[in-house]
């Protein structure tokens, strides 16, 4: 399509001069005036009021600022108010598009031509396609267009952070840098040029980038760019892991530059050993040698990159000796888990202290992490409908959290306490009240333009401020540094020490290997899930209980093991959810949460005989009240023993 600017077709402009570096842009984004996006991808949606013409300004409501204020002042039902609202157009008929462009959501490309128009049109297109996950502000976009024209900029790729300052964009110092940077990354990715690579969303939904363009010599940046994309496309690593590996490669890059290594064939075995010697001598911020895990990560990143580069023939000049051998990796020392002592946890779990967390959403997030040991990113990334009620076959209903495990990229379920479930319900109500049903996340941040989850740093900052205000101290009176991840260590240590099986703790912490779980403590008696699935139990009415199926069974199995660790009984099991107070005290034989199995039939018969003898003795002495007190557990025992004998009749009859 030719839009008539300098007589050139703008659909594909060759950026590299070799016929292989063209940006392909849809014609609808190359016009002089690009309208707002009705789908709300590259811009805010237009106001829902017919003939208004303004763009949305109210978070969660498809209303412009003017109609949003009128709606909130009316106190009416939204649908009814929209039906009867007056349009109040944003401009008079015939007013040109460049007038009031910001309020109308119009993106003005009219002053641009050539390469720069294609780039700015591509900025809109890559957000429309979802390649870049943010929303453009037309006022900031149009201001940037004006500055590019005034300063005779030929390409968006010429601009860096310093250039933006020189362009005089103080008015949009927060908005424009990410707009330019993310567009540059998308352009570089399209052209196959090294630069910042978009790794996708973090666990909390925020974008994650890796600056492979900063790697030197240039050939290292080229193969690193291919490598990161290859590993992400084949799902070998998570975005977080990719970012960590690129950071490790930056250390290697700095070393190569310091040694004047410019060509791939110059990376010899001596160079590799020199790098190992360098990182062995490096010190961390506290002046101590780098941990073995840190050294291993840096070595592994280089090894993995070079192995893939040789196998996929990205760099044929790379030597086969440019690698680290197995025995050269440091041995990792086992460190103690960084759990918080019970003295510290008592201060943090105190209800009055929890109320001192100013933001209710942050308080709920911290409570979830504190009681479940979930990773911070997983909690902040929870969907609005994350709560699942479990119709338990072995006790009253319980709740589980449905979440996305970013490490395994699978959906997980985690049992939670009833009081945590109630707090989550209140948080759901707050989100729906403020945003309606348009926001599908449990912990939205406070951004007005694009609603994304609360950032990890925001939660961490609130946690630190809260702990500082409480002046949290350990049993020796020393100040304690509390992080969200230490709650994870604390949960794992508590569970292991309470007698919970290794398999259950692995499930709860979503560990892939027992070695990861064994970091918290030595193995106690392990409960094999197969034994639980094969169980046969009866409740106090003598009714046989069968295990559930599929996903619910996964969560119930964890609940069962948790209960076994916290509610152990001599003659059966308690199916009351974890950490609930028993309303029946010692009267377990009349409790609806009590279940038992054939392995306890001997104890049950002995109790049955004991209650029968007490009833006979009380009747002989005329103690009617004593008879009634013993009759209820006697009936429960009769029913349970009868139910167990139906399961295993060979065990005999009631004595």
The answer to pTM > 0.85 is no
Q: Which two tokens stand for residue 352?
A: 């009055």
Predicted pLDDT of residue 220: 92
Could you say which architecture CATH assigns to the domain 342-497?
A: Orthogonal Bundle (1.10)
Predicted pLDDT of residue 216: 86
pLDDT in tens, 322-371: 999 988 999 876 666 688 888 999 999 999 999 999 899 999 999 999 99
Mean pLDDT estimate for the chain: 78
**296 pLDDT tier (thresholds 50, 70, 90):** very high
pLDDT in tens, 62-105: 888 888 888 888 888 888 888 888 776 655 455 555 555 666 78
Mean local confidence (pLDDT), 552-576: 54
Q: How far apart are CA 136 and CA 102, in angstroms?
A: 11
What Å distances lie between residue 53 and 49, 50, 87, 97, 162, CA to CA? 8, 8, 9, 11, 37
Residue appearing with tokens 């009620």:
389
- Percent of the chain past pLDDT 90, that is, above it, reads 25
Say which residues have a Cβ less than 8 Å from residue 643's Cβ, sequence separation at least 6: 538, 541, 542, 543, 544
Where do you find CATH 1.10.443 in the chain?
342-497
Among the residues of 326-415, which ranges form H helices?
A: 342-349, 351-354, 360-372, 376-380
List the one residue out of 379, 601, 630 whose CA is nearest residue 485: 379
Q: Which two tokens stand for residue 492?
A: 């794992």
Helix (H) or strand (E) holding 493: helix 484-497
Whether residue 597 is predicted with pLDDT greater than 60 in this model: the reply is yes
Predicted pLDDT of residue 533: 46
* 142-151, 210-219, 274-283: segment of lowest average pLDDT: 210-219
DSSP 8-state secondary structure symbol assigned to residue 58: S
Q: How far apart are CA 634 and CA 589, in angstroms?
A: 9
Is the CB of residue 139 less than 8 Å from the CB of residue 88?
A: no
Mean local confidence (pLDDT), 552-568: 55
Is the CB of residue 478 less than 8 Å from the CB of residue 341?
A: no
* 231-240, 261-270, 543-552: segment of lowest average pLDDT: 543-552
Q: Which is more confident, 34 or 582?
A: 34
Of the ranges 23-32, 150-159, 253-262, 452-461, the best mean pLDDT one = 253-262
Mean local confidence (pLDDT), 569-596: 58
Say which residues have a Cβ less than 8 Å from residue 31's Cβ, sequence separation at least 6: 3, 109
Predicted pLDDT of residue 40: 82
Q: What is the dihedral of CA 167, 170, 176, 181, to 10 degrees?
A: 60
pLDDT in tens, 106-138: 899 988 888 899 999 999 998 888 777 778 888
């Amino acid at each position: 399509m030719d839009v008539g600017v300098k007589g050139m077709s703008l659909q594909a402009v060759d950026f590299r001069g070799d016929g292989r570096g063209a940006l392909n842009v849809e014609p609808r984004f190359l016009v002089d005036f690009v309208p707002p996006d009705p789908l709300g991808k590259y811009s805010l949606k237009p106001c829902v009021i017919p003939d208004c013409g303004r763009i949305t300004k109210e978070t969660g409501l498809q209303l412009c600022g003017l109609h949003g204020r009128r709606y909130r002042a009316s106190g009416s039902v939204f649908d009814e108010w929209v039906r009867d609202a007056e349009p109040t157009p944003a401009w008079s008929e015939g007013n040109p598009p460049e007038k009031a462009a910001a309020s109308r959501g119009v993106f003005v490309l009219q002053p641009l031509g050539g390469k720069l128009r294609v780039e700015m049109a591509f900025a809109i297109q890559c957000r429309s396609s979802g390649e870049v996950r943010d929303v453009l502000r037309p006022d900031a976009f149009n201001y940037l267009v004006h500055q590019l024209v005034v300063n005779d900029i030929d390409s968006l790729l010429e601009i860096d952070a310093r250039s933006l300052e020189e362009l005089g964009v103080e008015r949009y110092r927060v908005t424009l840098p990410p707009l330019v940077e993310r567009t540059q990354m998308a352009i570089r990715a399209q052209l196959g040029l090294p630069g910042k690579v978009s790794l996708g969303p973090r666990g909390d939904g925020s974008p994650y980038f890796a600056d492979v363009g900063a790697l030197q010599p240039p050939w290292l940046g080229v193969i690193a760019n291919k490598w990161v994309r290859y590993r992400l496309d084949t799902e070998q690593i998570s975005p977080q892991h990719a970012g960590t590996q690129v950071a490790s490669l930056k250390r290697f890059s700095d070393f190569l530059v310091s040694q004047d290594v410019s060509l791939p064939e110059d990376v010899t075995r001596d160079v590799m050993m020199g790098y190992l010697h360098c990182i062995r001598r490096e010190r961390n911020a506290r002046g101590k040698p780098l941990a073995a895990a840190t050294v291993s990560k840096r070595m592994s990143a280089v090894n993995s990159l070079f192995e893939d580069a040789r196998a996929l023939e990205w760099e044929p000049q790379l030597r086969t000796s440019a690698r680290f051998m197995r025995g050269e990796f440091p041995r990792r020392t086992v460190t103690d888990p960084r759990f918080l002592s019970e003295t510290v946890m008592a201060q943090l779990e105190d209800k009055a202290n929890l109320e001192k967390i100013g933001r209710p959403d942050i308080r709920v997030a911290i409570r979830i992490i504190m009681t479940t040991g979930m990773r911070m990113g997983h909690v902040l990334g929870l969907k609005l409908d994350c709560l699942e009620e479990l119709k338990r076959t072995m006790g009253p209903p319980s709740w589980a959290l449905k979440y996305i495990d970013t490490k395994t990229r699978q959906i997980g379920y985690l049992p939670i306490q009833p009081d945590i479930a109630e707090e989550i319900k209140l948080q759901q109500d707050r989100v729906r009240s403020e945003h309606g049903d348009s926001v599908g996340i449990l912990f939205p941040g406070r951004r007005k333009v694009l609603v994304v989850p609360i950032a990890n740093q925001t939660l961490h900052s609130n946690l630190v401020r809260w702990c500082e205000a409480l002046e949290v101290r350990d049993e020796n009176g020393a100040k304690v540094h509390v992080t969200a991840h230490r709650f994870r260590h604390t949960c794992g240590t508590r569970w292991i020490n309470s007698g919970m099986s290794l398999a259950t703790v692995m499930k709860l912490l979503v560990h892939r290997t027992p070695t990861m779980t064994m970091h918290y403590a030595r193995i106690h008696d392990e409960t094999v899930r197969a034994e639980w699935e094969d169980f046969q139990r009866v409740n106090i009415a003598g009714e046989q209980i069968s295990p559930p199926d599929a996903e619910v069974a996964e969560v119930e199995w964890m609940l069962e093991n948790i209960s076994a660790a916290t509610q152990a009984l001599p003659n059966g099991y308690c199916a009351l959810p974890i950490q609930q107070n028993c309303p029946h005290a010692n009267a377990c034989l009349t409790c609806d949460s009590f279940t038992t199995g054939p392995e306890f039939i001997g104890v049950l018969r002995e109790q049955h005989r004991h209650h029968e003898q007490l009833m006979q003795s009380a009747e002989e002495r005329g103690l009617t009240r004593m008879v009634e007190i013993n009759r209820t557990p006697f009936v429960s025992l009769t029913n349970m023993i009868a139910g167990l004998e139906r399961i295993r009749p060979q065990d005999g009859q009631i004595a």
